[in-house]
Structure 1
Amino acid sequence: MGRVAEPAPEASVRPLPAAAGLGGSVQVRHVDAGSCNGCEIEIGQAFSPVYDVERHGVRLVASPRHADVLTVTGPVTVNMAGPLRKTYEAMPEPRLVVAVGDCARDCGMFADGYGVLGPVSDVVPVDVQVPGCPPEPAAIASALRGLTGR
Structure 2
Amino acid sequence: MGVGQKLGDLGVVTVRLEDAVNWARTNAMWPMLFGLACCAIEMMSTQASNYDMSRFGMELNRPSPRQSDLMIVAGRVARKMAPVLRQLYDQMPDPKWVLSMGDCASCSGVFNNYALVQGVDEIVPVDVYVAGCPPRPEQLIHGIITLHERVKQERFDYWYEKERA
* TM-score of the superposed pair, with normalisation by structure 1: 0.78
CA distance in 1, matches of 2:44, 2:26: 24
Point out the more displaced range, 55-64 or 96-105.
55-64
Q: 1:71 Cα shift? A: 0.4
Q: 1:24 Cα shift? A: 1.9
Percent sequence identity is 33
Could you say which residue in structure 2 is the equivalent of 1:55?
55
| Consecutive unaligned residues in structure 1, runs of 5 or more | 1-16
2:135 maps to amino acid: P
Do the aligned partners of 1:30 and 1:71 also contact (CA within 8 Å) in 2? yes
Q: Matched residue of 1:98: which SS? A: strand
Q: Matched residue of 1:118: which SS? A: coil
CA distance in 2, matches of 1:77, 1:94: 26
Could you say which residue in structure 2 is the equivalent of 1:104?
105
1:47 maps to amino acid: Q
1:41 equivalent in alignment to 2:34: no
Cα displacement string for residues 63-99 of structure 1 (whole angstroms, at most 9, x for unaligned residues):
1000110000223211101100000000000000000
Could you say which residue in structure 2 is the equivalent of 1:92?
93
Q: 1:23 Cα shift? A: 4.9
- Which 4+ stretches in 1 moved above 6 angstroms? none
Point out the more displaced range, 54-63 or 96-105.
54-63
Could you say which residue in structure 1 is the equivalent of 2:15?
none
* TM-score of the superposed pair, with normalisation by structure 2: 0.71
Could you say which residue in structure 2 is the equivalent of 1:11?
none
Structure 1 or 2, whichever has the larger Rg, is: 2
Could you say which residue in structure 1 is the equivalent of 2:160?
none
Do the aligned partners of 2:77 and 2:120 also contact (CA within 8 Å) in 1? yes
Could you say which residue in structure 2 is the equivalent of 1:118?
118
CA distance in 1, matches of 2:29, 2:147: 7
Cα displacement string for residues 30-60 of structure 1 (whole angstroms, at most 9, x for unaligned residues):
113xx4x220110011100000011221231
- Alignment of structure 1 residues 1-150 onto 2, 5 Å: 20=22, 22-32=25-35, 35=36, 37-58=37-58, 59-111=60-112, 113-148=113-148
Q: 1:147 Cα shift? A: 3.3
Q: Matched residue of 1:29: which SS? A: strand
The alignment covers a number of residue pairs equal to: 129
RMSD: 2.1
1:125 maps to amino acid: P
CA distance in 2, matches of 1:30, 1:109: 23
| Structure with larger RCO (C-alpha < 8 A, sep 6+) | 1
**Structure that is richer in strand per residue:** 1
Residues 145/53 of structure 1: CA separation in 2 closer, same or farther (3 Å cut): farther
